[in-house]
A and B are shown apart, each in its own frame.
Chain A
Amino acid sequence: MNTFHGIVMNKLVIFFLAFFILGFLFFSFRITDVPPGINGDEAAIGYNAALVAKTGHDSSGRFLPLFVSAFDLTDWKQPITFYSTVLAFKLFGPTFILLREVSVVFVLISAILIFLLGRELMGLKFAFISLFIFITIPSVLIQSHLALENIAPVPFTILWLLMLAKYKNTFKQKFLYLGGLFLGIDLFSYSAVRIIFPIFCLLSIGFVYYLNRKKNFRFKICSILKFSVIVAIFPFFMLAIKDQYPGAILAYNRPHGVPTYQEFVISYISSYDPSFLFIQGDSTPYHSTGKQGVFLLATLPLFVFGIWRIAQRKDPFLILILLTFLLTPAFYGLAASIHRGSRLLSLLPTFTIITSFGAVELFKLKKFWKNLAIFIICGLIILNYLDFTRDYFYDYPNRVKSEFAKPYQLVFEKAGQLVKSDDFTPYIQSDFRGQNEIAIDFFEQTFPGNLKSWKEGQAVPAGSVIIVSDYILAKKKEIPQFNTGEGFGLLINQTKNAIR
């Protein structure tokens, strides 16, 4: 038996390894080109992570801060994504591609965890279906290409569910502790989790209570306490450090009025608009192509069928999954968040399980109908996903070009190559930074060598490469240039004399 278990485990490890490599290649495809330029939040995370990786201090001078301020204390970054990026930069050195690949790793870990959750719930077949459904979700690919925090809660949400599933199957108390631990860590993964966290806690308590409903009162309370005590540490810790990070924890810098009953309810129920979830997606161009929903349209029949079948069955864990899906954005009215799919990524695990359950139930139909349904739905999912990826990789970058910062990486990468290969001295036009300060700060951190300052009117030094705006390029046509066509480029003085 142990040998069989060992063989299965070995095969799974090989499968995970292969999946990780192939997944990494797929999700990293055109990662710096799509979306086309760096987003302000990405740059803030990247710049501070590069500083912390190098010196231990962020841009505000704090030593290993728990929360990192970006944009002059007006926005704060959560530690999970930030320190994952710091770790990646520490190991491999800061680069733009690595900054975004941190999200790819989050996605791949989430995919493996969803596989494990699926296996825990209904075995290997369900696990493979869950994995397939998860990786074909459009918002998963979109988030894997953004160095943002939005994807960070997903692995922790899955881990929380996995621990509850393991508790249901084994009744081992350690899974209650671990469930509480992962849910607690989730609190530090993304700011929106703070309004989801109370709901997840209540659902967990209700679930544990239900599972132990036939036990005596003391046992029930003890089980709930084991989960609650661990999970409570995290919000209490957050409150304890509120004086150190008032902006990050209490958001005093971003006052938000008390929503009306109307606003509160609309924010919540608009999260379930089918046209938003399955056709148009997030309302911002950063997080959606505008042509696909948060979830893949072709999976809608499986999702509806899954809900229908879960409602018919009295499986407490599936009911927990359904309730989690339905209640996750219950307090989104507090943040006046309407049609912001990027803030709803905590729905991904529950959506995956519901949809996969719909697929598994489809297998139970009579042979002819089963085969027909599988053929049609699989065909539609593949077509739908191919259509989405084609649009995402090739058309979407052109559509949203104006929404993102310019692709400064082009000029920094080229200058870096010249510095390395031809030993040029690198310069940057002194007022160039004004174009997009935080993005250029980040790219400077990724640059191999120190960029010296160069002012318009000065001579172009001998053996130098200067990052300049296209205004300078137009004025210095006699000097060899590299023009990106994006409003900036390089002046390259290969001679041994300075040029006026």
Chain B
Amino acid sequence: MQLDKLLILILLIAFLVRIFPLGFPSFTSDEARVAFRGYSLATSGKDELGRSFPLFFNSSTDYQFPLVSYLTAAGELVFGKNDLGVRIPFILISTLLVFVTYKIAEFFNNNRLFKLSSAFLVASNPVLIFLSKIPNEIIVLTTLFAWLFLLLVKQQKLMIIAVVMILTVLTSKLSLFFLIPFTYLTLFKQKKQAVILAMIIVALGLILFFSNEQARRSFIENNFSLFSDVTVKNGIDKLRGYGYEAGWPKFIDFVLFNKLHYLSIGLLHWLSYFSPVLYSGQLDPSGLLNYFSLGAWTKILIIPFLLGLLHLIRAKTNAKFLIGYAVLFTFPALFNYPKLDLTLIILSMPFIALVMSFSLLKLNRLAVILIFCIVIPELFLNIYDVVPQEKNSVDLRPNWVSGLVTNIDQTAKSETTLVSDDIVSDIGPLIEWYTNFNPQDGFEQLKSPYKFTQYQIGKVRLLGAQQIFTTCGIEEKIIIYASPRDLKKIKRDFKPIIDSTYSDSNNKIRVYKITNTCIR
């Protein structure tokens, strides 16, 4: 197989923009947990809670599927406990996605511009670049589904297809939602065996998933808020509550507000996933999933996207079905009301790149060059000017805590050390990741942890909101790293001695090291 030299250049660029700057973005607490888990698995074969090679993992928001954790472990096994070790598997997977997109483009049209522009668009996609630098399910799932698409349309052997399908199921529970419709849409009745295979794998995945008690709980809690969460405005329980209050007969309430409610409310919610602003304006202002001032694509690409859409609507080819993938991948949103799960949008990126590339074929070469000339500066200005990004996500991706937790770790070696639990959300994994923490010191006796937060990290103990403070006895020596919440509580009763303070990336004091206060 002779590779196009320009493709090699695009792959090289894709790899380089993904690997540099290596330390950006800083990890969230959950990502730090995966990073530390990878180290623990690589060195001891146990996860951060001491369970040997588990299938499902703990997380602060949901139950995590295994593939991402084991990929992280593989990276750290080779490169050690550092940024490169954690990030390299995802950087490589994301670079592979560029190549897979090129091969998919080849299937639709052998035109060199079409293939290369498809690959380039994926290589320069901001959200794919961002996500390739952190341990996460979405970049893996996006690559796997693109690969699966390629295997399906090229009618490859069922064994290989089965392996990729299994990998998608092991990556994220999202794949359980759309593996079957994805296979069906891609093949469009051409190869029924693959659809049946997808059904079997999804069924096995569901059995595996529901055999785990905590996974069942996760499924109910995270997917049926429309039923269970009374804070949801149009939630079924809430609407039924109104009905009872108004004295409606129980039967009418049941008829009006039942599982069919998903069809109306869920569909409206789904509609919000097709907002052009998310794709070309601003995907995630929080900086969790993307550079905060960029959409899923750089802005100018809305033009080739619309033109590509117009071209495909008019065209009489199977490529028309590419439009359907954006609709298909956002389909689980129906069950996720009212949370806007932006990750669903990202899965369709390679397919949208193909839609855009169809229009580039029709455009004047000068216009194509002009579009790329606008894409590149916007992209580079955002991905290399990381300071505003760090300031924007000071709570979510707190890179400033690395110095703090190193000091906490040093203190904990000689003194009893307490840390407020609201310095940042779930600081435990950050302490474990940024210090030389020994995984065995954090092992807990838990079989099926779910949304479990560790409050004892080796010698460091976290302080909750209910903690009561007191003065220290003669022999007592405790160091407290207090948040403004706890400092306020301490100051209410006596005068603390503040040894030092720690500021965040916005130069706001976030932590006070207090040496004369103890706890009751």
Which A residues contact B (CB, under 8 angstroms)? 261-262, 265-266, 269-270, 272-276, 278-279, 297, 300, 308, 311-312, 326
Contacts and interface: CB of A to CB of B under 8 A. Distances in A.
25 contacts: A261-B299, A262-B281, A262-B293, A266-B281, A269-B277, A269-B280, A269-B281, A269-B302, A270-B276, A270-B277, A270-B281, A272-B275, A273-B272, A273-B276, A273-B277, A274-B274, A274-B275, A279-B271, A279-B272, A297-B268, A300-B271, A311-B313, A311-B314, A312-B313, A312-B314
A265 B281 CA distance: 7
B293 to A, nearest CB: 5
B306 interface: yes
Contact of A274 (B272, B280, B306): B272
* Chain B interface SS verdict (over half): helix
A266 B274 contact: no
Given A261-B299, A274-B275, A326-B306, 14 more contacts: A265-B280, A265-B281, A269-B302, A270-B275, A270-B276, A270-B281, A273-B272, A273-B276, A275-B268, A275-B271, A276-B275, A278-B271, A312-B313, A312-B314
A279 B265 CA distance: 11
Contacts of B336: none
A270 B295 CA distance: 12
Interface of B: 268, 271-272, 274-277, 280-282, 293, 299, 302, 306, 309-310, 313-314, 378
Contacts of A270: 275-277, 281
A274 B282 contact: no
A300 B275 CA distance: 14
A319 to B, nearest CB: 10
Chain B CB count within 10 A is highest, among A269, A297, A308, for: A269
Query: 6 closest pairs, A vs B, by CB?
Result: A275-B272, A311-B313, A266-B281, A269-B276, A273-B275, A265-B299
Contacts of A278: 271
A300 B282 CA distance: 24
Nearest to B293: A262
B310 A274 contact: no
Contacts of A274: 271-272, 274-275
A328 B310 CA distance: 19
A326 B378 CA distance: 24
A262 B302 CA distance: 13
Nearest to A271: B276
A134 B267 CA distance: 24
A266 B277 contact: yes
A275 B274 CA distance: 9
Contact of A272 (B268, B276, B313, B378): B276
B275 A266 contact: no
A261 B298 CA distance: 11
Given A311-B310, A311-B314, A312-B314, A275 B280 contact: no
Contacts of B276: 269-270, 272-273
B301 to A, nearest CB: 11
Chain A CB count within 10 A is highest, among B272, B280, B281, for: B281
Nearest to B378: A261
Given A266-B277, A275-B275, A308 B282 contact: no
Chain A CB count within 10 A is highest, among B276, B280, B302, for: B276
A261 B378 CA distance: 10
Nearest to B272: A275
Contacts of B268: 275, 279, 297
Nearest to A273: B275
A300 B270 CA distance: 14
Contacts of B306: 326
A311 B309 CA distance: 9
A278 B276 CA distance: 14
